[in-house]
Amino acid sequence: MPDLHEHEHGHDHAPGHAPPQPDETIHSYYQLLGLAMKELLIEKGVFTAEEMRAAIEARDAIEPAQGARVVARAWSDPAYKARLLADGPAAVREMGIDPGETHLIVVENTPQLHNVIVCTLCSCYPRQIIGLPPSWYKSREYRARIVREPRAVLKEFGTELPEHVELRVHDSTADMRYLVLPMQPSGSEGAGPDALAALVTRDCMIGVTVPKLG
């Protein structure tokens, strides 16, 4: 039985706007509306319950670990890295990942350049490569502030960059989807692919953190 009051934390309340009352009634209504819509669409034959299950499983099957394998390969194989930067979709296909229709652009961090990704207008994200975006990526707080005070936001994630490093924010406003290729942490040279992939988190492929050893 679905929990009517189970919902995402951190409602996007705009500062200065009093939330409409009663909040819980509205959220409960939307839980019901979502279920009603789903059930009606199945009843009307738009899709089947089995297709629903398959769609949920397909989403669940794509995880950041998939992208981590791509990063690990790029760290170990300069020729692969060059192909990845030149043609993201083709390079991820080499790793057995289906990018679908994603127009994937991989952007490389260097000692002089740090990339971070956002979609200020909604939540565009390389879903086919690394799965669904984290809740904070979709939040008003991240979308509003990462374009204007990116260093302060990165600090909230525990990431501080020297001033000489260019911090480059990519706002995914159109058809391209961005993945950050973080720098390989020093001390990890020569490690095997699994060990390298284990260093690569979702957050460092968005660019809010960097891979760390240990």
Partner 1 sequence: MAERFSPGETVRIREAYPPGHIRTPVYVRGKVGVVTRPFGRFRNPETLAIGRDGYPEKMLYEVRFLQKDLWPDYRGSGSDTLLLDIYEHWLERAS
Partner 2 sequence: MRGPHDVGGLEAGPVETEAHPLTFWEKQIDAVNALLSQKGLKRTDENRRYVEMLGHDAYNCLNYYERWTASLSRMMIDKGVLTQDELDAKIAEIKARLGADAA
Interface residues with partner 1 (CB under 8 A)? 103, 120-121, 147-152, 163-176
Within 56-85, the residues that bind partner 2 by CB under 8 A are: 56, 59-60
Residue 132, phi then psi, degrees to nearest 5:
-75, 150
Could you say which of partner 1, partner 2, none residue 5 binds, taking C-beta under 5 to 8 angstroms by partner kind? none
Residues 9-48 that bind partner 2 (CB under 8 A): 9-15, 17, 19-20, 23, 26-27, 29-41, 44, 46-47
Q: Is 123 a catalytic residue?
A: yes
Interface with partner 2 (CB under 8 A), residue from 85, 105, 147, 183: 147
Report how far apart, in Å, the C-alpha atoms of 38 and of each of 45, 56, 58, 209 are: 11, 13, 18, 37
Could you tell me which of 140, 164, 141 has the C-alpha nearest to residue 153? 141
The answer to whether 154 and 82 have CB atoms below 8 angstroms apart is no
Q: Is residue 8 classed exposed, middle or buried when 0-12, 13-18 and 19+ CB atoms within 10 A define those classes?
A: exposed
Quote the crossing angle between the two packed helices 64-76 and 78-86, to the nearest 10°: 120
Query: Residues interacting with partner 2, by CB under 8 A?
Result: 1-4, 6-15, 17, 19-20, 23, 26-27, 29-41, 44, 46-47, 51-52, 55-56, 59-60, 120-123, 132, 134-136, 138-145, 147-148, 153, 156-157, 171, 208
Just list the catalytic residues.
119, 122-124
